[in-house]
Amino acid sequence: MTPVDHAPHAAAAEIAGLYDRHAAAWVRRRGTRLIERDWLAAFRAALPAGRRAVLDIGCGTGVPIAAHLIARGCRLTGVDAAHAMLARARAAFPAQRWIQADMRALPDLGTFDGILAWHSFFHLPPTDQPAMFAVFRRLAAHGAVLMFTSGTEAGEALGEFEGEPLYHGSLATGEYLRLLAEHGFSVLRHVEQDPGCGGATVWLARREA
């Protein structure tokens, strides 16, 4: 990816529009292969006993991650800012709850036993990411688990999707650790650039306080 010299970059404001314009291409590229299977198993195993209400922030079309969780008994509330992606999720899984919203301005959704922000949270500028930890805490029931992906160091970078810039932002690892602890989350597992999961940097945490 190409580093960005100023923050926030204009491409950060175009994420929802980018996925709206290219939803069909995303479906084609993403496919149904679930390289996240081991992390999702860890996420489900860490859910409080007998509790399966999961919030998927940046759920996209619901395939394959939400589909995997639904098939294993989770009750899904999916949130995405891109209408075209969310419309596919609603059509595929009408029994679940799907909400179009920016993750930074979520409506009152209640609390959840698990919160997932997989390859979505890292589309926020670094300046917007710290405030999300208060949102995670508000949405997390006591004992709930939180799993999200991030970068490995502070900064911004641009990828490319269908010929358009695709924005990513990250805080430093130490800052994520501080924010999680400050908001009552303990880290259960953290792997940087996991080779078994496409190089994703993954955090799995539990709300303890």
In this predicted model, what pLDDT tens digit does every residue of 81-137 receive, in sequence order?
999 999 999 999 999 999 999 999 999 999 999 999 999 999 999 999 999 999 999
Q: Domain residues for 117?
A: 34-137
What phi, psi does 165 have (nearest 5°)? -70, 135
For residue 209, what pLDDT is reported?
77
Single pTM value for the model: 0.94
Q: Is residue 167 a part of any domain in this protein? A: no
From the CA atom positions of the chain, what is the Rg in Å?
16
Determine the length of the chain: 209
CA distance 9 to 27: 26
Task: Evaluate the omega torsion of the peptide bond into residue 48 and state whether it is cis, within 30 degrees of 0.
Answer: no
Give the pLDDT confidence score for residue 7 in this predicted structure: 44
- Inside any domain, residue 188: no
Alpha carbon distances (Å) from 113 to 119, 141, 163, 195, 207? 20, 6, 38, 28, 10
Tell me, what's the pLDDT at 10?
86
* Residue 120 in domain: yes
For residue range 134-190, what is the model confidence (pLDDT) as tens digits?
999 999 999 999 999 999 999 999 999 999 999 999 999 999 999 999 999 999 999
Strand-pair partners of 204: 147, 189
The verdict on residue 157 lying in a domain is no
Going by pLDDT thresholds of 50, 70 and 90, the confidence category of residue 2 is: low
Among 163, 121, 119, CA closest to 21? 163
What distances in angstroms separate CA 156 from CA 7, 63, 82, 170, 174, one per listed residue?
7, 27, 22, 6, 17
Q: Is residue 204 part of a domain?
A: no
- Asked whether residue 127 is assigned to any structural domain, the reply reads yes
Domains of the chain: total: 1
CATH of the domain at 116: 3.40.50.150
Phi-psi label, residue 193: left if phi above 0, alpha if psi -120 to 50, beta otherwise = left
